[in-house]
Amino acid sequence: MPARVSPLSAHLLPLTALSPLDLAVIGLYFAATLGIGLWSTRRQETAGDYFLGARNLPAWAVLLSIVATETSALTVISVPGIGARGSLVFLQLAFGYLVGRIVVAGWLLPGYFRGEQETAYARLETRFGPGTRRLVSVVFLITRFLGDGVRIYAGAIPLAMVTGWSIPFSILAMGGVTLVYTWFGGLKAVVWADVVQLAVYVAGGVAALLIAWQLAGGPGVALGTAAAAGKLRIIDLSVDLSSTYTLLGGLVGGAMLSAASHGTDQLIVQRLLATRSLKDARVALIGSGVVVIAQFLLFLLVGSAIWAAHLAPAGLPADQIFPRFIVEQLPAGLAGLVVAGILAAAMSTISSSINALASSMTHDLYAGWTGRRDPAHLLVVGRIFSAVWGIGLIGGALFFERYAAGNDTPVVVLALSIASITYGALLGTFLLATRWPRARGRDVVGAVLVTVAAMLVVVFARPLAGMAGLDWLGPVGRLAWPWYVPLGTLLAVGTGVALSYLPDRAALPTSRMSER
């Protein structure tokens, strides 16, 4: 997940244009991703081939795909800014991400590999019936569409900065190429493109770190200078719910955020279902947590090295530190590679969203409503939904670009807020399903609705507190975002448990989901 950053679009600064060699590298990257999509169309005959890669993807590829999927372009841009302006305390959140993955690997993953489940929400139908499955799927579709529309727009901003393209053209370029290879190749194309994309942006990050260290006088000098300034500090033991990066907030908030995103979100669960076995899925999930920590450390060190080289002046917005370094300090060709890395992170977000949205729409909604479950037919339907969602996401990003033109709300904060509204409700739903035998479908529906309404107030408490009669929301608005998912989960579980004690209940179903 990306960190909170200032609104890039409000502070765009002119940068030197990229060289023809850089543009050629970017063009070559576009061509390579399209080639992966065409190559992945081989032997696609069913919806399972298209959405789950025939359940035959190697663990290491899924591992890298998970990391690439959760890394947006703004992460690549903003994390070096955090390293330049602050320290390494952001890693505390990544430690929590690893803890959350370990919990999911032991708790939720075994249930996903019982039977032939196509989506994260199929298992809810066994426990609560088709209505609950459809509700949770719709919540996922709306949240993912809105949140990723913002992320695509946000990813286009740094791309526009370093290429000189307009933001709308950057959105269309990224979205168009990604839609083509995703439509052709399905999840297999998404995963293998993610592997390439991760390699590209990590290689760019390593190259940027080495050059920044050289400009700072060598790695020893750079690290020594950063350490003396407190920029290599990792742990913050303070207990402050309004502070974004603390050990307690990172471990608790990061773990629950990761449990929700990697245990209940179709975007990630779809990849885990595409592995060959439960063991492979666990390797991919837990291994991705380790790689994410290493990745964040890399880009934080890039920021500290840029600072040590005196290339992060105080008046420069944090989000522009790395883009300016790319264009002004990296040699021709290498700058193009790093820009391709930014493209890679952005396109990974788009492709993953298209495929996950189309998969949920096909299996959770279309197949249930129509009764059509023929795999070959669902393949055709799935491709149609892929095109619809791809065009929709591009349109949503263009809408947010127009909306943000007159609004100072940081776009990444907006994306985080949208996800936080529902992640707690989703995690709470699975907790009720697996740990509370009294819960029925109507209890879960009520819990989701109450939690989403409450989290809307919590997430937007700060602007609401400025309105007449709502001053009491001020303290709520100071809650740091890593605590949003724990709060939402507590609300969902508490509401579901309370509703389960309402009178006039029918007998509990004999069939219930077991996790052990």
Tokens of 82: 């955090």
Three-state DSSP class for residue 275: strand
Reported pTM: 0.80
Q: If pLDDT is split at 50, 70 and 90, which confidence band does 460 have?
A: confident
Identify whether the C-beta of residue 216 lies closer than 8 Å to the C-beta of residue 356: no
Lowest mean pLDDT among 216-220, 333-337, 460-464: 460-464
Stretch (H or E) spanning 260: helix 247-263
pLDDT for position 156: 80
DSSP one-letter string for 51-77: HHGGG-B-HHHHHHHHHHHT--HHHHH
Contacts of 460 (CB under 8 A, 6+ apart): 417
Mean pLDDT of the chain: 82
Stretch (H or E) spanning 183: helix 167-215
Lowest mean pLDDT among 135-139, 470-474, 502-506: 502-506
pLDDT for position 233: 94
Average pLDDT over residues 393-410: 70
Average pLDDT over residues 231-244: 87
CA distances to 7, 405, 413 from 408, in Å? 7, 8, 11
Instruction: Express each pLDDT in 16-67 by its tens digit.
Output: 466 788 888 888 887 887 787 667 666 666 676 677 766 788 999 999 999 9
pLDDT for position 413: 53
Chain Cα centroid distance, residue 514: 29
286 exposure class (CB count in 10 Å sphere: 0-12, 13-18, 19+): middle
Average pLDDT over residues 10-15: 44
Average pLDDT over residues 6-13: 44
| pLDDT reading at 407 higher than 70 | no
Terminal C-alpha separation, the chain: 30
H helix runs in 405-483, sequence order? 411-435, 441-459, 461-465, 474-477
d(CA 351, CA 370): 27
Strand partners, 57: 275
| pLDDT reading at 83 higher than 50 | yes
Structural domains for the chain: 8-499 (1.20.1730.10)
Instruction: Express each pLDDT in 90-100 by its tens digit.
Output: 999 899 999 99
pLDDT for position 3: 37
Average pLDDT over residues 160-168: 78
Three-state DSSP class for residue 372: coil
pLDDT for position 353: 84
pLDDT for position 514: 42
Stretch (H or E) spanning 400: helix 375-404
pLDDT for position 234: 93
15 exposure class (CB count in 10 Å sphere: 0-12, 13-18, 19+): middle
Q: What is the share, in percent, of the chain residues with pLDDT greater than 90?
A: 26
DSSP one-letter string for 336-353: HHHHHHHHHHHHHHHHHH
Nearest to 339 by CA among 148, 174, 151, 179: 174
